[in-house]
Amino acid sequence: MKNPTYHHMGDHSESLEVERDPQKTKYETLLDIFWSNHNPSYKICRQYMSGVWYHNKEQQELITKSLEKWTLKYRTITTEIGPAGLFTPAEDYHQKYKLGADVTLMRALNLEEKDLAYSLPATRINGYLGGNGTVEALEEELPSFNLDDDAAAHLREIVARKSDVRGVCRMMKK
């Protein structure tokens, strides 16, 4: 479908496109993150399915190799693997959803909704708001976000609260 939207997906799936610096991040590392952060044996509708798409022969070979490793764990993998097609970014209101809903941080970043998709600080902050990252990691990169003191304190509080919840969940699993 040409120009899919959230409400008119056609045969598209929600996905993300990852840009990486090969000098800093190996493709295999991204594949390990991909496989370990979802259940690749779970069958679900096309919109939310598991998929990984390659851009060249080398990526295809690395995906196949990583698939073999994860098949040992799950036996049946329903993840779609195929060549990458045209990537269509989601509408502005779907970009950095957690951050977009936080008035304090949006005001401090001075970003409009249309700018969220391409802002590295917005990407990093949205990840923290989603529960990814530690207080220690936040402290390291907080200066690069150029937040005022109130917004920085607000973000610290959220990340600390999410870290506490993750800690309790880990303890309960033991």
168: confidence class by pLDDT, cuts 50, 70, 90? very low
Segment 63-115, tens digit of pLDDT: 999 988 888 787 788 788 999 988 877 777 778 889 989 999 999 999 887 88
* C-alpha span between 34 and 80 (Å, rounded): 13
pTM of the predicted model as reported, rounded to 2 decimal places: 0.68
- pLDDT at residue number 29: 94
Domain ranges within the chain, ordered by starting residue: 1-88, 92-173
Coil, strand or helix at 52: strand
What is 1-88's CATH topology?
Peptide Methionine Sulfoxide Reductase; Chain A (3.30.1060)
What's the average model confidence in pLDDT over 25-34?
Answer: 92
* C-alpha span between 52 and 68 (Å, rounded): 14
**In the predicted structure, residue 170 carries a pLDDT above the cut 90:** no
